[in-house]
Structure 1
Amino acid sequence: MLHAYTPSERFLPYLTWPEIDQMEDKDNVVIVLPVGAIEQHGPHLPCSVDATVSAGVVGHALALLPDDISAYGIPAISYGKSDEHLHFPGTLTLTGELLLHTIQELGESLYRSGFRKLLMVNAHGGQPQPLEMAARELRLRHGDFMVIARDVWSLPHNDDFISEKEKQLSMHAGHGETSIMMALLPDSVHMDRTEAHYPEPFPCPTLTSGRPAAAWASIDFGPSGVIGDPSAATLAQGEQLLSDLATQWATAITEIHNAQWVKREYQSWGKSQFNGYVHSQK
Structure 2
Amino acid sequence: MLHAYNPPSRYLPYLSWTEIAALPDKANTVIVLPTGATEQHGPHLPCSVDTTISAGVVGHALARLPDHVPAYAMAPITYGKSEEHLHFPGTMTLTGETLLATMNEIGESVYRAGFRKLLIVNGHGGQPQVMEISARELRLRHGDFIVVPSFTWRVPHTAGQYLSDKEKKLAMHAGHAETALMLALAPETVHMDKAVSNYPAEFPSKLLSPDGRPACAWSARDFGPSGIIGDPLPATREQGLHILDSLANSWAQAITELHELTWAPRAEPTWGRAQHQGHIQDGLA
What is the identity, as a one-letter code, of the residue corresponding to 2:43? P
**2:47 corresponding residue in structure 1:** 47
Q: In 2, distance between residues paired with 1:183 and 1:107?
A: 31
The C-alpha deviation readout for 1:31-90, integer Å capped at 9, x for no partner, is 000000000000110000001000000000000001100000010001000000000000
Q: In 2, distance between residues paired with 1:36 and 1:269?
A: 32
Q: In 2, distance between residues paired with 1:58 and 1:220?
A: 32
**1:15 corresponding residue in structure 2:** 15
**2:279 corresponding residue in structure 1:** 276
Helix, strand or coil for the counterpart of 2:118? Answer: strand
**Contact between 2:118 and 2:146, CA under 8 Å: does it hold in 1?**
yes
**1:230 corresponding residue in structure 2:** 232
Q: Residues 270, 106 of structure 1: CA spacing in aligned structure 2 closer, same or farther, 3 A cutoff?
A: closer
The count of residues paired between Structure 1 and Structure 2 equals: 278
State the identity as a percent: 61
**2:80 corresponding residue in structure 1:** 80
Unaligned runs of 5+ in 2: none
Deviation at 1:203, TM superposition (A): 2.5
Helix, strand or coil for the counterpart of 1:196? Answer: coil
What is the identity, as a one-letter code, of the residue corresponding to 1:261? W
Q: In 1, distance between residues paired with 2:80 and 2:243?
A: 23
Question: Is the counterpart of residue 37 in structure 1 residue 37 in structure 2?
Answer: yes
Deviation at 1:205, TM superposition (A): 2.0
**Contact between 2:141 and 2:272, CA under 8 Å: does it hold in 1?**
no
**1:205 corresponding residue in structure 2:** 206
Q: In 2, distance between residues paired with 1:57 and 1:210?
A: 30
What is the identity, as a one-letter code, of the residue corresponding to 2:169? Q
Helix, strand or coil for the counterpart of 1:33? Answer: strand
- Normalized against structure 2, the TM-score is what? 0.95
Helix, strand or coil for the counterpart of 2:120? Answer: strand
Q: In 1, distance between residues paired with 2:202 and 2:21?
A: 56
The C-alpha deviation readout for 1:140-172, integer Å capped at 9, x for no partner, is 000000000100001111121111110110000
Question: Is the counterpart of residue 89 in structure 1 residue 92 in structure 2?
Answer: no
Question: Which among 250, 253, 261 is matched to residue 251 of structure 1?
Answer: 253
Range that drifts further, 115-124 or 265-274: 265-274
> What is the RMSD computed on CA atoms of the aligned residues?
1.5
**1:193 corresponding residue in structure 2:** 194
Deviation at 1:16, TM superposition (A): 1.0
Q: Residues 224, 247 of structure 1: CA spacing in aligned structure 2 closer, same or farther, 3 A cutoff?
A: same
1:257-272 correspondence runs (5 A): 257-267=259-269
Q: In 2, distance between residues paired with 1:22 and 1:77?
A: 26
Deviation at 1:277, TM superposition (A): 5.9
Q: In 1, distance between residues paired with 2:223 and 2:268?
A: 45
Range that drifts further, 224-233 or 261-270: 261-270
Range that drifts further, 267-276 or 127-136: 267-276
Helix, strand or coil for the counterpart of 2:161? Answer: coil
Q: Residues 271, 51 of structure 1: CA spacing in aligned structure 2 closer, same or farther, 3 A cutoff?
A: closer
Unaligned runs of 5+ in 1: none
Q: In 2, distance between residues paired with 1:93 and 1:150?
A: 20
Q: In 1, distance between residues paired with 2:165 and 2:280?
A: 47
Deviation at 1:202, TM superposition (A): 1.4
The C-alpha deviation readout for 1:12-42, integer Å capped at 9, x for no partner, is 1111111110110110000000000000000
Q: In 1, distance between residues paired with 2:191 and 2:271?
A: 57
Helix, strand or coil for the counterpart of 1:226? Answer: coil
Helix, strand or coil for the counterpart of 1:276? Answer: helix
Helix, strand or coil for the counterpart of 1:273? Answer: helix
- Normalized against structure 1, the TM-score is what? 0.96
**1:104 corresponding residue in structure 2:** 104
Q: Residues 164, 114 of structure 1: CA spacing in aligned structure 2 closer, same or farther, 3 A cutoff?
A: same
1:106-125 correspondence runs (5 A): 106-125=106-125
**Contact between 2:31 and 2:74, CA under 8 Å: does it hold in 1?**
yes
